Amino acid sequence: MSVAADQKFTELIDQSRGIIYKVIRLYVRNPEDEKDLFQEILFQAWKSYPRFDGRSKFSTWLYRVGLNTVLTFQRRPDLVRATDNLEPVGGSDHSHERNESVDALYQAIRELNDIDRMIVTLHLDGYENEEISEIAGITKNHVAVKLHRIKETLTRKLKDL
C-alpha cells in the first residue's frame, strides 16, 4: 500500500475501533484471546484493505472482516478458552444494577447461534436491515424475520433471570 493508503486505513480503523471491540466481546471471553484477536483482525483488515472497493461503508466491511476472523479463531481446535469467567462488560463508573442488566443482555446474546448473534449485534449498532443482509448474506426480509424472532428469544431469556 502507498503511504496515503496506509494513512487512510489508519484513520478509518481509528474511527471504527469500537466495532472490533464489540465483535470480540460478543464472541470471546478470555482477555488474552481478546488481545490476540484484536491484533489478528487488524492484520486481516490491513491485508484485505487493498481489495476494499467502497461499495459498502468501511464499518460494514470491517465488521465482516472482524466477524470472519473471530469465527475462524473459534473453530481452531488448538485453543483453550475460558468460558465461565465473564468479565463485566461495562466500566466501573456505571451503577451495579446497570452493569448486571448489561451483563445479562450480553450473556443472552452470547448464547445465540453465530448468525443470530451477528444480526442482533449489527442491529444494536444501528445498521439498517439492508446493510445487515449484505453482511449476513441473506435477504432484507429474512433479516427482519430473524430480528423479530431474536428479540422474542432475548426477551424470554431475560425474563427467566
8-50 pLDDT, tens digit each: 999 999 998 888 988 888 888 788 888 899 999 999 999 999 9
Q: Which residue would you say has higher pLDDT here, 99 or 52?
A: 52
Cβ-contact 86, 44 below 8 angstroms: no
pLDDT at residue 139 above 90?
yes
Average pLDDT over residues 62-66: 90
Architecture of domain 1-81: Orthogonal Bundle (1.10)
**Residue 38 CA to its chain's centroid (Å):** 11
Is the fold of 1-81 the same as that of 94-161?
no
Break the chain into its structural domains and give their ranges. 1-81, 94-161
Give the integer Cα–Cα distance in Å for 122 and 62.
12
Give the integer Cα–Cα distance in Å for 59 and 70.
16
Type of residue found at 62: L
Ranking 12-16, 103-107, 118-122 by mean pLDDT, the lowest is 103-107
CA distances from 20 to 89, 137, 152 (A): 14, 20, 27
Q: How confident is the model at residue 78 (pLDDT cuts 50, 70, 90)?
A: low
CB-hemisphere CA count at 13 Å for 123? 19
Average pLDDT over residues 124-137: 86
Write down the pTM of the prediction: 0.64
Ranking 1-10, 58-67, 136-145 by mean pLDDT, the lowest is 1-10
- Tell me the fold of 94-161: Arc Repressor Mutant, subunit A (1.10.10)
